[in-house]
Amino acid sequence: MATGTSNPFDLAPKLVTSFIDGQWVGDQGGHRIPTFYPGNGQIISELQEADANEVDRAVRSARRAFNDPKWSGMAIEERQSILCRIADAIDANAYELATLETLNAGIVRRDVLGRQVVRAAYNFRFFAEVISQQPGQVWQQNKDYLTFVTRHPVGVAALIAPWNSPLALASMKVAAAIAYGNTCILKPSEQTPLSLARMVEIINEITPVGVVNLVNGRGQTTGSALVDHSDVDLIAFTGGTETGRTIMQAAGRRLKPAAVELGGKSANIIFADADQERALDGALVSIFSNNGQQCLAGSRILVEDSIFDDFVGRFVERARKIKVGDPLSDETEIGPIASARHREHILSYVDIAQSQGATLLTGGKALDRDGYYIEPTAVLAPSNGDRVCQEEIFGPFAAFVKFSDAEDAIRMANESQFGLVGYLWTQNVDKALRVSQAIRTGLMWVNTPMVRELRAPFGGVKDSGLGRDGATSSMAFFTEEKTTTIPIADVPLRKFGA
Ligand code: NDP
């Protein structure tokens, strides 16, 4: 295991290829893509793109592994043991995995060690437990027939992950897929292959050959070859809404199930009767965690008019004190944006907001240093209909809007193409219940930011996606139900031609 004293950059391989059928694919030439350390903008590694032939090899490997009854028909105890051993191996390699995640995604390493890697290991332990509690369904028709439902793995799963939190998001998909006896091919974002390459290698020390494969490359090439492959049985995708539509079209053409977890522009509603200090902490956490690059971000902060100026003033004061810097440093609170292009995308919203009459409250500039850093940013938007309140910026960028009462807050929260999560802060129980149920999202957090209960469904409505993760929801997606009916009495049959 690598330790805290080694040079973090030594952990990044010079070339990342694909991992197919239990081994790294050799240097095949082909298209190469540089990967950068967002902390200084330097190239740290190169990725060799998997072409359609390599994707096909990966799918065939996964199919062979799936067809082996030793895997798909494995006893639950044995599968649980595999999942728990993977979790232990992730824990044992936590420092290396966290460093690789930081080197590619720019998330502060201290946070990755404390959250994402812990969550990655927990995802495997979670499904180890969940598969032992699979509920059954049995019906008895009169005294004559018994009908029961069994669940079976679906087959070969294509798993597609985004760049903003590769370990936590991809591990959830891999864990759920293999827990139910499927095999899979994981495609990380071309921007962030490093941590997932190591995770797949670690998993393959424990799983049979071909159960977990990895293909690296761009979405338009490797990704689309994977989702369009005729022998892929299901697709689980996390990423942007437009890509989600493309994935659903491919799934529709081939009639295969797809779950798409997409973007968000979540409302964070602060009522005047909230615990103000807690709401302030929560608002900062929900927009600035993970360098602001998270689907769950509370990026539209709706504040009741009687406390608006005071709340916004205190938010800005705290935002100005946030330590932005090297994500490998333990002092840093917000690291760099994941890529130069994405940094420009975020900063373009300063002009967009101002052109629609918004006031820049704080931030709005790149830091004058190497790497893709920006100041934590907040704007005061004249209206919830403005672009800065309607479009996913996906960075440390908060938009404040004022509301007058609960009905106004509900209206604004729902005035969005997205519906992933929502936050609300009030000490009035009736209001908390009423408002939380009236907002159209897949999930609401009341007086707390971002607590994930993995057994509960997670996923969005509207343009935030289709499908859910969670104990029951993941089982429903990664298994197929089969109904069997059998007579349990001597039931006479019609006798055609007798
Ligand atoms: P993208 O949609 O650009 O990419 C997601 C993944 O899909 C990447 O691996 C990408 O590859 C791949 N991809 C792109 N085009 C295709 C294609 N035609 N066929 C198959 N695969 C393709 O999203 P980002 O990576 O930019 O991630 C950020 C987005 O993800 C945000 O909108 C965010 O809200 C959302 N997200 C949603 C979450 C949720 O749970 N709801 C959680 C986290 C993020 P490549 O990058 O190599 O092009």
190 Cβ inside 6 Å of ligand 1: yes
What span, in angstroms and rounded, lies between the C-alpha atoms of 286 and 443?
14
Q: Whose CA is nearest to atom 39 of ligand 1?
A: 261
Domains of the chain (ranges plus CATH)? 8-262+464-483 (3.40.605.10), 267-446 (3.40.309.10)
Residue located nearest, by CA, to atom 43 of ligand 1? 295
Q: What is the mean pLDDT of residues 230-247?
A: 98
Q: Is 442 in the pocket of ligand 1 (CB under 6 A)?
A: no
Identity of the residue numbered 269: I
Tell me the pLDDT band of 5, cut-offs 50, 70 and 90. Answer: low
Q: How far is the CA of 154 from the centre of ligand 1 (A)?
A: 23
- Looking at residue 135, what is its pLDDT? 87
Does residue 467's CB lie within 6 angstroms of at least one atom of ligand 1? Answer: no
**Ligand 1 pocket check for 369: Cβ under 6 Å:** no
The predicted-structure confidence for 87-121, as pLDDT tens digits, reads as follows: 999 999 999 999 999 999 999 999 999 999 999 99
Give pLDDT tens digits for 92-101: 999 999 999 9
The 3-state DSSP composition of the chain as helix, strand, coil percent (nearest 5) reads 40, 20, 35
Average pLDDT over residues 47-74: 96
| 8 A C-beta contact, residue 327 and residue 39 | yes
- CA distances to 235, 263, 413, 415, 443 from 462, rounded to whole Å, are 19, 10, 13, 11, 13
Token couple for 87: 């979790």
Most ligand 1 atoms within 8 A of CB, residue of 47, 119, 194, 243 to mutate? 243
| pLDDT tens by residue, 312-326 | 999 999 999 999 999
Element (H, E) at 418: strand 418-419
Task: State which ligand 1 atom lies nearest to the alpha carbon of 162.
Answer: 25
Cβ–Cβ under 8 Å, residues 132 and 65: no
**Which of the four pLDDT bands, split at 50, 70 and 90, describes residue 4?**
low
**Any catalytic annotation for residue 101?**
no
Largest CA distance in the chain: 92
Residue 92 Cα to ligand 1 middle (Å): 29
Tokens of 2: 């690598």
Going by C-alpha positions, the residue among 196, 139, 131, 128 that lies closest to residue 162 is 196
**How remote is the CA of residue 263 from the centroid of ligand 1, in Å?**
9
pLDDT at 191: 97
> Beta-carbon neighbour count of residue 35 at 10 Å?
22
Question: Which of these is catalytic: 49, 54, 190, 261?
Answer: 261
Q: Name 236's bridge partners.
A: 159, 259
492 Cα distance to chain centroid: 54
Interval between CA 243 and ligand 1 midpoint (Å)? 6
Q: Is 290 in the pocket of ligand 1 (CB under 6 A)?
A: no
* Of 455, 434, 457, residue with least CA distance to 446: 434
Give the separation between CA 204 and CA 197, rounded to whole angstroms.
11
Mean pLDDT for 440-461 is 97
Asked if residue 222 has its Cβ within 6 Å of ligand 1, the reply is no
CA distances from 342 to 48, 108, 336 (A): 22, 17, 10
Check: pTM over 0.75? Answer yes or no: yes
**Taking Cα atoms as reference points, which of 238, 240, 260 lies closest to residue 248?**
260
Residue owning tokens 């100005």: 320
Tokens of 141: 């028709």
Which helix (H) or strand (E) is 171 found in, with range? helix 166-179
CA distances from 46 to 170, 200, 222, 371 (A): 21, 18, 16, 18
Residue-level pLDDT at 72: 87
What's the average model confidence in pLDDT over 183-195? 98
Residue 435 CB less than 6 A away from ligand 1: no
- Per-residue pLDDT tens digits for 476-493: 999 999 999 999 999 999
Question: Quick check: 3 pLDDT over 60?
Answer: no
The stretch 73-100 carries a mean pLDDT of: 97
How high is the pLDDT of residue 452?
93
How do residues 35-56 score in pLDDT, each as one tens digit? 999 999 999 999 999 999 999 9
Cβ neighbours of residue 309 closer than 8 Å, sequence gap 6 or more: none
Residue type (1 letter), 456: A
Q: Rounded to whole angstroms, how far apart are CA atoms 57 and 108?
A: 36
> Which pLDDT band holds residue 27 (cuts at 50, 70, 90)?
confident
Could you give the percent of the chain with pLDDT greater than 90? 96
Instruction: Evaluate if residue 1 carries a pLDDT over 60.
Output: no
CA dist 186 and 219 (Å) reads: 12
Sheet of 42-48: strand order equals 15-16, 42-48, 32-37
